[in-house]
Structure 1
Amino acid sequence: MRTSNASIEDAPLNPFHQRLTLAVGGASLMDGYILSIIGVALVQMTSQLQLSNFWQGMIATSALLGIFVGGLFSGWLTDRFGRRKVVFVAPCVFLIASVLQFWTDSPMVIFLLRFGIGLAIAIDYSAATSLFVEFVPKKYRGSRLAGFTILWFTGAAMAYIFGDIILHNSGEHGWRWALASPIIIGVFLLLSRLNTLESARWLITKNRATEAETIIQHVYGTNYSLANLPETSAQQKLSLRDMLRMGYGKRLAFVSIFWTCAVIPVFAVYAFAPKVLAALKLEGAWAAYGSVAITLLFVVGCIVGTQLIDVLGRRKMLIHSFLWSGLALLCLGTWADSSEMVVLVFFGAYALFIGGAQVLELVYPNEIFPTELRPYAMGWGVSASRIGAAIGTFLVPVSLDSIGIGNTMFIAAAVTFIGLVVAIAWAPETKAKDLAEAAALH
């Protein structure tokens, strides 16, 4: 048997990588759909169930709170049981919770079910993306991770489009059918993961080198072995405390803060889109088509970011994304009372420019931490970002009523500029680096 001298980081893309991309990317589509469909269903649900402002806020933020809690232990779960077993948790929870939401009239039960959905999303972020980066060659890793964010916003756009169709064709129970509609994506996600393999890198950390070797040869060919895995020779067993003491605390803070600043305005808008657009004097057809148009511009922004990630590099793209999207929010707050078209232009500009930061949310935590810490970084990053988003989302109705839409947009701009400062101070460049190189402290 002839052994290749090439690193698996430089191996060609093969059918296994394509299937893995589909299996992991489907979760981003589901995430965007399931977190956004609540914004569509909430108006009719509020009327049907006579929800108070408190329960509107709790239900709108329930999944985000679940993601926060799930992120706290998802890293441990992924490291303890492996990536392959854990990636089946989310599809099963999505299916069960979507069915149960259809039959309940209790705000508390809806809150708990969506809280459980959030737990599953957090677990999947940690397990699925770790599995993905530990298999996919570096040439394709950044753009494909960035592409998952496109799928997130595609799922969000689908939620608004199909949710609106469902509500207009299902009578008074439209909100129930809307909340149950993720079942279709959930079945696809479950089926796409049936032939998933365990991460060879994770197996090595568990002293299961023989299994790791078998998987490497199955995925890359018989001329590859553990010798072609860059981390193998230099890898050392480190505890989480050791990692933080060596300087990874700064990187964890960077990921948590920039991710939080990138998602707070986005989730606040998606959870209360009708209220936000109404406050900006966009109603009727303007609100309906405006929501879809803005969501599609988020998708366009992510597509552009995906194309630029290996051209501009991670650091430069993050800085420019925060700068121009923050200025767009500043303009939106300044001219909040302008015509519908002016409002849509600034809102659309924000959606377009924030795409760069959005696509880096899955890239940075998966590239700048070693194998042992990668799932923890993903878990804590998504946890911190979602608790910030949950707080921001919960406060949106209060902010709109107390200080108005203009000042609310100024606060959103301030959050975005905090992300800009953190990006300038701490964002590293990982373009074209192996996972071992990108995770190394310099």
Structure 2
Amino acid sequence: MTKYLKRLVLFSSGGAFLDGYVISLVGVALTQITPQLGLSQAQSAEIGAASLVGILFGSLFGGMLTDALGRRTMFIVDLIAIAVCSLVSMCAGDAFQIMMCRFLIGVFIGADYPIATSLITEFTPQSKRAIAMGIVAASWYFGATVAAFVGYALYAVDDGWKWMLGSAIIPCIVLLIGRHDIPESPRWLMNKGRSAEALAILEKVYGSHYDAVPAEHVSSDKPIHVFTKGYRSRTVFLGILILCQVVPMYAVYTFGPEIMTAFGLNNGHESILGEAVVSVMFLIGGIPAMFWLNSLGRRKLLLLGLALMIVGLLALGLWPTAPLWYVFAGFGVYAFFSGGPGILQWLYPNELFPTDVRATAVGVAIAFSRIGVAVSIYGLPLFMESYGVGATMLVAAALVGIGFVWSLVCAPETKRLTLHEASSLQHKHANK
């Protein structure tokens, strides 16, 4: 992990930071937007879900373009587009305009995911891969945590929601500066027959002592895609797993203040601060998980994390009128043990597919999960209004439970495998 490679991982993780930031900040902004613009619950839900629908389209088509055109092509353009849409959203005057800006921001954030995670995976040494992808997950939680505190600071400002939505411009500028000289992936170049370019980049990133990566390209008479026999089952496994894991998490972040108010915190600064505390627990949980993925293994940590997430959500659902210490304990258990599954939603797609379709696999897995997320986020405030926060937490626990059972049957072990071994259909993954 050279100094240059560490910087590459850090700034490539910026898309995850932006996702966590813009998704979480809209929950705080809606506490002002809804009364100021006289929005209905349905309109608030549409604004909350808009960026998730955008991520669905952006990750799907962005992944395909990344495998076809290269990892770096859209790396700069998407940040500029996010900054422009954030600026425009500050001038929005009704729910539809805000919703469209949020949708477009989601499209470009979704496009960034396949680019960034593929690039990080293909540059990072095998022994550091889980840690590098852990930084991506941590960046999401860090972005969400920063958003909670920014929202807290701007809540009392007149038209504070405009400054909240426009504030994404600042991280975009920082990332543009940091990404300006990030190179193309040597693995992708080798697969395209551009060996001289690949070797030059390897020397730039790692120095003169390095091993050239072999081309993994499948011959043209046997093209592969994410729904080829063998890879199709991996695609379905990832789509369902990520769906079950992220739906409750996005609900907590998108409508965090409303959920905290339902559990007894005062609406306003107190509920926003409560969301910030939970967000910090998500962030803290990802740090040891980076190392546990190599020591415990992918599969074991996934199952353990999902089981304890269920415990936290059940505790909240079964006693929704509990005192605040109990509420924060329940959220703390759920958030802390989300660390391992949270990293694996990025690590697994990049390990289980070859270079030819790696970015596409990331995009398809994210897109599939975001269909469910968008629907659930739209329905969450309506469901919570009708059935209460306790029932909402129980449904979330049931969903994570489905993910646990699914993983018990399907989750592979890829610890200590090279990318070639992990992505090969000939290599039999351990599932115990």
* TM bucket, shorter chain: over 0.9
| Equivalent runs, 1:109-120 vs 2, <5 Å | 109-120=97-108
Kindly report which structure 2 residues correspond to 1:345-356, keeping only aligned pairs within 5 A, or say none.
Answer: 345-356=329-340
- In the alignment, residue 382 of structure 1 is paired with which amino acid? I
Structure 2: tracts of 5 or more residues without a match: none
Opposite residue 56 of structure 2, the aligned amino acid is: F
**What residue number does 1:244 align with?**
227
Q: CA distance change for structure 1 residues 392 and 76 in 2, over 3 Å: closer, same or farther?
A: same
1:193 matched to 2:176: no
**Could you tell me which amino acid in structure 2 is paired with residue 159 of structure 1?**
A
Counterpart residue identity of residue 387, structure 1: I
Cα shift at 1:196: 1.0
Shift of 1:160: 0.8
Q: Structure 1's 17 and 338: CA in aligned 2 closer, same or farther, altered over 3 A?
A: same
Q: Is the 8 A contact 2:148 2:273 kept in 1?
A: no
Matches within 5 A, 1:379-398: 379-398=363-382
How many residues matched?
424
Q: Quick one: distance in 2 between partners of 1:224 and 1:400?
A: 55
Q: Following the alignment from structure 1 to structure 2, what is the Cα–Cα distance between the partners of residues 321 and 247?
A: 27
- Structure 1 letter corresponding to 2:80: C
Confirm whether residue 70 of structure 1 aligns to residue 58 of structure 2: yes
* Counterpart for residue 129 of structure 1: 117
Amino acid at match of 2:107: L
Report the counterpart of residue 287 of structure 1 in structure 2.
271
1:240-296 Cα distance to aligned partner (Å, 9 max, x none): 35x633301111111111111111001111111122122222225652432121111
Decide whether the 8 Å contact of 2:256 with 2:272 is kept in 1.
no
Aligned to 1:267: 250
8 Å CA contact 2:60–2:111 kept in 1: the answer is: no
Q: How does 1:193-272 map to 2 (within 5 A)?
A: 193-224=179-210, 228-229=212-213, 231-232=214-215, 236-237=219-220, 238-241=222-225, 244-272=227-255
TM-score normalised to structure 2 length: 0.94
> What's the CA shift string for 1:386-436, capped at 9, x where partnerless?
221111111111111222221111110010011101111111111121110
Give the secondary-structure state (helix, strand or coil) at the position aligned to 1:378.
Answer: helix
Q: How does 1:307-346 map to 2 (within 5 A)?
A: 307-346=291-330
Equivalent residue number for residue 153 of structure 2: 165
Worse-superposed segment, 340-349 or 248-257: 340-349
Distance 2:323 2:178 in 1: 46
Q: Within 2, Cα distance between the matches of 1:381 and 1:410?
A: 25
Q: 2:29·2:151 contact (CA, 8 Å) conserved in 1?
A: yes
- The answer (yes or no) to whether the contact 1:286–1:340 under 8 Å persists in 2 is no
CA distance in 1, matches of 2:148, 2:100: 23
Contact kept in structure 1, 2:86 and 2:167, CA below 8 Å: yes
In the TM superposition, what whole-angstrom CA distance separates every residue of 1:363-406 from its partner, at most 9, and x where no partner exists?
11111110011011100111112221111111111111222221
Return 5+ residue gaps in structure 1 as ranges.
1-12
1:233 to partner: Cα distance: 7.0
Letter in 2 for 1:410: L
Q: 5 Å matches for 1:395-406?
A: 395-406=379-390
- Output the amino acid matched with 2:46: M
- Tell me by how many angstroms 1:236 deviates: 4.0
Match 2:259 to one of 276, 282, 285:
276
Alignment match, 1:93: 81
Deviation sequence 1:171-190 (CA, Å, 0-9, x none): 1x110011111111010011
Per-residue Cα deviation, 1:167-219 (whole angstroms, up to 9, x for no partner): 22x21x11001111111101001111100111111112222223223222332
Amino acid at match of 2:320: A
8 Å CA contact 1:65–1:115 kept in 2: the answer is yes
Q: Do structure 1's residue 145 and structure 2's residue 133 form an aligned pair? A: yes
Q: What amino acid sits opposite 2:25 in the alignment?
A: I
TM normalised by structure 1 equals: 0.92
Deviations 1:31-76 (A, max 9, x none): 2111111011011011111112221011001100001112221122
For the 8 Å contact 1:89–1:124, the answer to whether it is kept is no
Please say if residues 314 and 430 of structure 1, whose CA atoms lie closer than 8 Å, have aligned partners that are also in contact.
Answer: yes
Specify the code of the residue in structure 1 equivalent to 2:339.
Answer: G
| Mapped partners of 2:381, 2:210: distance in 1 | 57
1:223, distance to aligned residue in structure 2 (A): 4.9
Name which of structure 1's ranges 203-212 and 353-362 shifts more when overlaid on structure 2. 203-212
1:77 aligned partner, one-letter code? L
Seq. identity, %: 36
